[in-house]
Structure formats: C-alpha cells, structure tokens
Structure 1
Amino acid sequence: MNSGRLRDNLLCNPIGGNGTKNSAQPTPYARDNSTTHVCVSPLTVTVMVSLMLTPLHLTILIVPSSFSLFSALTVTSDLFRLDLARSETFPANRFHTDKKAYWRDRQFVALPPPTEAARLELELGKELGAGGTGVVHTARVVNQNSNATIPSQVVVKFARLNHCRNLAREAWIYERMANLTELNGTVVPHCYGFFTAKLPECYWTSSDDDDVYGYDYLGNNDHSSHPKYPWMFRSYDENRDCDDTLDDDRLFAPLEDPEGEKRRFKDQSPWNKWIPDPNDPLIAVLVMDKGGPAYTLEDEQDRDVRWDIELLLQDFQLAGIGHGDFRMCNLVRAPPQTTMCSFHKVVHQWNVIDFNRSWVVDLKREKRRNYAAALIKPMYPGSYFHN
C-alpha cells in the first residue's frame, strides 16, 4: 500500500486505543484460566483479566509514562552540580485549520508535575550539538530509584538562560505525546521529564568572566562558541533579555474570571509572560533517550529509509502534531530501545526531535480532517527539509 493510500485510510477510519480500526474489547466470557493483557493510552494501563466465567476479577496496575517517572534530577560535571525539580510545561493554543489561526483552548492544558516520584542522577558527558534554544550533552545514569528500566546513557538538553520558556513548550509537546498518543518511544525518543532550578550564585560569575547576562559573556576569554557552562550564551545569541516569540503568542480578549480558572491552559501558565531575570537566573533542562546520527543526503538515497520516514510522518498526522522545523538535523537514528509502532506494525529506524516550534491540531474536532492532516505533514523530501 502506498503512503498516500495508507494516509487516506487512517484518516477516514476510526482508530482504536491501540492504533487499529475498531479495536476489539475483552469479552467477559472465555475459556477458564485465561489471561488477557490490554494496553490503553493515555496512561499505560495493563489490565490482567482472570476469566473464570463467574465472577470476573480485574486487577489494574497503573504504570506511569516515562515523562512521569521522576520528580527530582541531579546533574553533575567537573565544573558544577545542579539539583533540579520537575516543573510545569507550557501548553500551546489549539491551531484551527479552517481559520488558519490559533485559538484559546481549555482542553490544551499542562498536567501537574509529579512531586513524589523517583530521583534521577546523571553525570554530564560531551556536547553533542547546539541550536537556537540550547545545547545537548550526553549523560551517564549514575543512579535512579524508579521501578522502570532506562538506558545507561541519555541526553540532557539545556536551555540557554533566555530560552527556558521555549524549552517548556517543547516539554509540553513531549508530555502530550507521552500521555495522549503512542508516539513516545516509537517515533520520538522517550522523554524523562522537564526540570528547572534557580541558578546557584556560585555559577553566576567567576574571576575570569563577565556578568552572567552581559552581552559578551561567553564563559571564557577567547570568545569561543563553547562557553564554560552549557546554559550560557553563544557568540551568535541575540536578544538575550527575552525568549523567542512563539507562533501562538497572540492577544485574546481578557478572561472574564482569570482567578476562577483552574485548568492550566496557555493563558494561565506561569510561562505565558515569563521573561528572563538577570538577578534571578533560571535553569531548565529536558532529559531524553539518546538517538543516533542525524539524517544525511546519503541516507536519502535509500528507498527503505525514505519509506520509513513517510510512515513515521503519518504517525504524527494521526496525532495531530505539526513539527514546524522539519530538517535533517532534527531527524536521527532511533535509539536501540525503540518499540514497535502499533499502527504500522514496524519498529521505525528513525526518530524526530526538537519540538519547540511545533503546533497541535485536535483532529477529532476538525471539520475537514483530510485538509487538517495535509497541513500537518511537512514536505518530504523538500527544500525546507534539506536546510
């Protein structure tokens, strides 16, 4: 089946919780002593049903997503030690495809961060790369006290001091994928949470450096593009006193009763009007599975690779997530622990990363689903992809 026909099929047919059409529900009448395992999103819920005809006994075990495993994080290196706590993410406004505009939506919310979950301790490794929002380092898992098994090597994405809000938005996309879709661990790396902390004063300045928010503050004397600490500015950074404007940062009519709003949608988020404070700097990080090398022009010559990319982009269509920055550097080889895609019944060989420019559509509420899905899928391959 070609990619266009497969896409039309998935958009025109209802999809069950496990990614198949009209998913069958477990029946209460079956052979004695049988056991059924059913996995359901948004939470990974394993239902073990002991079918003894009469009566029916249910034991339900709630297993948190990777995004909810940890409430505390410690990152150490030769130069610093940071203790961080899980933080609330920054939800997006809903993109309305008929009007091609963003709308305030109380169903697009941030979940309360876990406060009594496990602790993760990491030792920072080498820098893998830097972008507009921050810098990514490898990290070794020194200790973790959750019941889950996670890889011994992960990556940590540090926001630069003026881009914490931007990283909080990317974290919300990962949170949404982990809890409302089956993309987490199949077409995107597992994300282990979004953490923040006030920057300790001992890391603000040193005898050889300027002020932490000074325009020339690069962390060393030769104005290298690799500063002393990963959260510090790079030589190419501009507008250091504010974060980047997001596509859904538009003005709406004031809320009638802002104090009465309990849902943490965009307007009510503490990140909505956040600006960096040079007198009280904030550190923000994401922790994720470590992927492999980025996509190259050589990879594009392989038909199997191109087909795999088409399939994983269909998964994003089904989830209603538009990437917004689909380039070669944001497509990496999938981590070894990648799991089978429940819709395509394959283990994808590639994963997509870097979601701070993403936008979200609620396909269930769109009048023209095919049109909405067509807007989501980036042109692949195309000139923008090659940038």
Structure 2
Amino acid sequence: MFSTLIIQGCALSASQVPITVSLKSTPSFPACAYDYVERPEPVPDSWAARAVSPAKGTLEVSLLERISRGRIGIAYSARVISATTDDGSNVTNTLPEAICLKFAKLPYSRSLAREAWFYEQLADCQDISVAHCYGFFSSTFSEQNDTPYSLQPWCALEDPSSSDSEEEEETKPPGSPAISLDWLPDDEPCDEYKDTRNFKRDSPWNTWNFTPDNPTISVLVLELLGERCSDQWESFWPRDDPPDGLKEDTTAIMHDISIYGVVHNDVTAFNLLQFTGSEVETRQAHCPRHNVVHGWRIIDFDRSFRVDMENGTAQAKEDPPRFNPSAIGRRSSFWGKYS
C-alpha cells in the first residue's frame, strides 16, 4: 500500500538533535525451497518477492516507546500520524492508532528482509495466525535529506552491530561461503536447499553487507500486538503449567502456517504475542481452518524455511513440521530455542 515510510524523530544529527528519516518500500529476500530431491520442479512465480512498484502511498509515524529487542532487531511502538494514497486521499482512519516498527540492527537488514518475505508468503494468515504486515522499508544514511549521525533505536544498544548476548549470537557454520556477515541457513552449502528459479541468488540482498560508513536503516512495519507469552508466564504461570488452551492454540497456529509449507524453526514463549484486538478486529481475525479466533500470534520468521507444497517431495512435506506440541509450556524446551 505504501511506497514511503516517514519516521519523525527517528535519527539524531551530529549535535544530537532528533531528525526525521524517510524510507522507501523495498523488495523482500526470497528463501530457497527446502527439499530432498536433486532436481525438484521449479517453484511457482508467487515465490518471488512481491513487487513494490504498485505501492504509492505515504505512511508517517512517530516513535513512542521500545517494546523489545532480539537477536536481529529492536521493536518500537509508533503513533500513526497520517496515511495517504498516491492521489492524496487520507486513509489514516483505516489504520490503528499505533503500530509496531521492527528496526534491524546494523548488520541484520538481510535477515529482516527475509522475515518480510515470509510475511508476504503468509498473507492469508495475517490477522489470523501471524501479525498483519504493512510493508518492509529501507534506505541508507546517505539517501536522507539530513544525513543522520546515528539511529535512535541503535543508541540504546551497547553495540548496535552485534546481538545482545552470547546465547543469541548465531555464528556462520564452518565451511559456509562468506556471502554476508548476516548469515542465513540457506547460505550454507546443503543439498536440501534449492534455488530453482534463482530468486534468492538474483536478489540484491543475497550479497548485501552492512557498510559502517553508510549504514542501512531497515524497518518492518507490523501490527501492534500484546504481551509476549514469556512475559505472562514469568509473572503469573506456575512452572511447566501454561494456561488452558495454549497448547491447542499454538498447535493450531503452526498448522495454519504449515499449510503453506512454512516451518517456523524457533517456536518459543518469546515468539508468541497475545492478540488483544478490538471487537471489529476480533471478527476479522476468525480462523476459517479452526473456526476460532486465536489468542496468540507467532512472530520472528528470520530463521524459518519453506517447502514448495505444490512440487515438493512427499518426504520434504512430511518432515517440515519439526514442531513438538508436547514441548509447549515446558521450560526445558519452550523457554529456549528448539526446532
């Protein structure tokens, strides 16, 4: 819908004065198809990144407060100031008052572009099992009218070019090609990952690396959801005793995305957010597959992978779930990362 994202007070000048940044709608980063056969059928046209040319409008927002930070990014809530179409029509009232902006850390724009691709591929699950995505936007410092000295979300980090902890840092496996410092699973030489249409190879993100002298600002604009499952658990839930319905709801959400061949690969209490929509939003969020409104949404797809459900082998289609419902609510697995 929008070709331009304007964020007021998002960056700082050399004199530490807040300045506005303007980002442009940017193609996402397609993944390789996950399959076992040596020569699978080519993936469908829909596997490509969504074209950004039809987007014409402008979305203007201002930062409110930081929500969370993770391995690749920092999430902020933002107030919607205005939203206009290419002909100047005001569509602000069609958007919620506040949305979520996920800023990539300095070296992780590539991973955020990959996450944006999964939201595109799961368009039918948005507002039902995954968050609504309003677009992916990026631009460099040099493309701004006023060249920033730093990005405000990065200022809260001790080292914006790294993860927050050693546990979160994911290193490139030995022998993997040095495509980018921002390593992704399908960069590794592996018979299971197939780029049958060169959608990944031909993407500008495939060889992207961050440039310290001209950083890239990348932002994924998402629906603003409620608390993380981990926050509620830590405060209110007994050990290994999640509330009624969490296992069933999470399993149903995983079923929703698996229909499209998507394997999340990081289903934890940190990546489930509570849905707290209005009455109208709740009616729109009805899941046709399970005839319910899911109480949770799954987020963070930067390390996910996908099987081509039309052309994939039977073995590939059966293997991908990689999801153990019995682990939901158990600190030994649900609290940390597991496949």
- State which of 318, 334, 337 in structure 2 corresponds to 1:385: 334
- CA distance in 2: counterparts of 1:356 and 1:335, whole angstroms: 24
Following TM superposition, by how much is the alpha carbon of 1:354 offset from its aligned partner in structure 2, in angstroms? 0.5
CA distance in 1 between counterparts of 2:150 and 2:249 reads 48
**Runs of at least 4 residues of structure 1 off by over 3 A?**
101-107, 224-227, 231-239, 250-253
Aligned to 1:123: 62
Cα deviation, 1:174-223, whole Å, max 9, x if unaligned, reads: 11111xxx2111001100000011114742369xxxxx9xxxxx74xxxx
Distance 1:313 1:186 in 2: 12
Unaligned runs of 5+ in 1: 1-68, 207-211, 213-217, 254-260
Instruction: State the alpha-carbon separation in 2 of the partners of residues 166 and 102 from structure 1.
Output: 27
- Given that 1:184 and 1:190 are in contact with CA atoms closer than 8 Å, whether structure 2 keeps it comes out as yes
Quote the residue 2:13 is aligned against: none
Aligned twin of 2:183: 245
Q: Check the 8 A contact 2:134/2:221 in 1, yes or no.
A: yes
Deviations 1:245-282, CA, capped at 9 Å, x for gaps:
111114599xxxxxxx9x77101100111111122221
Greater relative contact order structure (CA < 8 Å, 6+ sep): 2
Structure 1 distance, partners of 2:300, 2:39, is 21
Aligned-residue offset at 1:307: 1.4
CA deviations 1:215-253 (Å, max 9, x no partner) are xxx74xxxx6468xxx766665879x9533111114599
**5+ residue gaps, structure 2:** 11-17, 86-90, 172-177
Q: Which residue in 2 is equivalent to 1:375?
A: 320
Instruction: State the partner residue of 2:3.
Output: 71
The 1:281/1:315 distance shift into structure 2, 3 A limit, reads same
Return the letter of the residue paired with 1:288: L
Q: Deviations 1:348-371 (Å, cap 9, x if unpaired)?
A: 1100001100100122223327x6
Q: C-alpha distance in 1, partners of 2:122/2:251?
A: 19
Residue 34 of structure 1 is matched in structure 2 by none
CA distance in 2, matches of 1:165, 1:102: 27
Alignment equivalent of 1:93, drawn from 29, 32, 39: 32
In structure 1, the partner of 2:174 is none
Rounded to whole Å, the distance in 2 between the matches of 1:306 and 1:153 is: 29
Could you tell me which residue of structure 2 aligns to residue 22 of structure 1?
none
**Are the equivalent residues in 2 in contact too, given 1:320–1:373 (CA < 8 A)?**
no
Amino acid across the alignment from 1:80: I
Is 1:363 the counterpart of 2:309? The answer is yes
Aligned to 2:247: 306
**What is the TM-score when the length of structure 2 is the normalising length?**
0.75
Matched residue, 2:81: 142
The structure having more radius of gyration, on CA atoms, is: 1
Partner AA of 1:174 in structure 2: Y
Residue 278 (structure 1) aligned to one of 206, 209, 212: 212
Aligned residues of 1:93 and 1:104 also touching (Cα < 8 A): no
Residue 349 (structure 1) aligned to one of 268, 271, 295: 295
Kept in 1: contact 2:265–2:322 (CA 8 A): no
Alpha-carbon distance change, 334 to 294 in structure 1, aligned in 2, over 3 angstroms: same
Structure 2 SS opposite 1:267 = coil
The amino acid across from 2:31 in the alignment is A
Measured at CA, do residues 145 and 176 of structure 1 come closer, stay the same or move farther in structure 2, by a change above 3 Å?
same
TM-score for both structures, normalised by structure 1? 0.66
State how many pairs are aligned: 287
Identical pairs, percent:
29
Cα deviation 1:291-328 (Å, max 9, x = unaligned): 11111442953232221112111112212110011111
Alpha-carbon distance between aligned partners in 2 of 1:102 and 1:249, rounded to the nearest angstrom: 18
1:319 maps to 2:260: yes
User: Which position in structure 1 is the counterpart of 2:275?
Assistant: 334
